[in-house]
Amino acid sequence: MILGNEKDQKPNKRRPNWHEISQKAEHGMSLREKDRSMYEEWLRAVKTMHEGGDCGQVEPWSPFTLRDTYYDGWANGDFGTLLSQLGEATPLRRATPTDEKE
């Protein structure tokens, strides 16, 4: 059930383009320089969304999540691209022989 004004809803979710991801990366870099604690809070949210989370409601009375509101249409991998642009990506590790035995 969706509450609120349906006219405010975006009918088509669209993936972000490179420029849009780069703009968010610039925003993150600016935060990193100006307010480290705010940057770390924002970075935790980005990492959560990279793992598939939505970060909960924006406001208690709103049915929309942080992801719905500010990152509508973003796939988990788009957050990986953002983390990479920030230099915060976690490198993938290669499978080892012990992984194959498990």
Total domain count, the chain = 1
**4 within some domain:** no
What is the pTM assigned to this prediction? 0.76
| Mean of all residue pLDDT scores within the chain | 85
**15 within some domain:** no
User: SS3 for 89?
Assistant: coil
Take residue 8 and report the two structure tokens written for it. Answer: 């405010």
**6 within some domain:** no
pLDDT per residue as tens digits for the range 36-53: 999 999 999 999 999 999
Instruction: Write the single-letter amino acid at 68.
Output: D
For residue 74, give its domain range. 21-88
Instruction: Write the single-letter amino acid at 40.
Output: E
Cβ atoms of 24 and 82 closer than 8 Å:
yes
Packing angle, helices 18-34 and 76-86, rounded to 10: 50
**60 within some domain:** yes
**41 within some domain:** yes
pLDDT per residue as tens digits for the range 57-76: 989 998 999 999 999 999 99
Cβ atoms of 38 and 46 closer than 8 Å:
no
**8 within some domain:** no
